Amino acid sequence: MTCVYDEGVDGVNAVTLKEPGDGPRIRLWNRTVPEDDVIEMCAEIATADSTDNLVATIHGVTLAVMGEGLTPFLDALVDAFAGWEGARTWRSMYGEVEIGAVFASGGHVELTCTLRPGWYSTAGMWTASVTVTMEAGEQMRAVAADVHRFLHPNGR
């Protein structure tokens, strides 16, 4: 699967998590359902929206529809808006995408997204990470809702 991001698809066909301004971003797009129990998508991280930034992309990321999915992980972060100790982590089925969440000072959540080639990749071994900070309450709730709409547009 190769993905080319279309600037006009944010919403149902893509979701971007970012801080206001020209800060780091995490983008998920090109959701497909090749089988009933999995979703495939593309993921990209960037250190900023300007032209002089690190951009890393992984194509064909496989997510389980049921079980320890991304949406239950984000829902748990929303439910814990008052805070938690330590780091919470979610990984895609083959580990190409990892999202870590830490409750930070001032009622904020730091989401660190790490991309790495899957075990089947011929791209060599590398990792790239960015951290996006957001408010634990309504911003996290909005992010979780956006990811729900992106991954499960028919309410599955």
Q: Which whole number is the average pLDDT over 88-104?
A: 94
- Could you tell me the sign of the dihedral formed by the alpha carbons of 88, 81, 103, 45, in that order? positive
Residue 20, in any domain of the structure: yes
Q: Which residue reads 């972060």 in tokens?
A: 77
Q: Which whole number is the average pLDDT over 8-34?
A: 80
Residue 83, in any domain of the structure: yes
Average pLDDT, the chain: 85
Residue 88: pLDDT over 90: yes
Q: Count Cα atoms within 13 angstroms, Cβ side, for 33.
A: 10
Residue 156, in any domain of the structure: no
- Whole-Å CA distances, 72 to 106, 141, 147: 24, 12, 10
Residue 1, in any domain of the structure: no
Highest mean pLDDT of the ranges 33-42, 43-52, 97-106, 120-129 = 97-106
Domain that holds residue 117: 7-151
The pLDDT, as a whole number, for residue 156 is 56
Find, among 138, 15, 118, 145, the residue nearest to 60 by Cα. 118
pLDDT digits (tens, 9 = 90+) for 104-149: 999 999 999 999 987 666 667 889 999 999 999 999 999 999 999 9
Tally of domains within the chain:
1
Contact 142, 150 (CB under 8 A): no
Residue 7: pLDDT over 70: no
List, in sequence order, the alpha helices (H) in the chain.
Answer: 70-79, 138-151
Check which CATH number belongs to the domain holding 38 and give it.
2.30.31
Q: Of 64-68, 73-77, 82-86, which range is least confident? A: 64-68
Q: Cα-flanking dihedrals φ and ψ of residue 111, to 5°?
A: -100, 115
The pLDDT, as a whole number, for residue 6 is 58
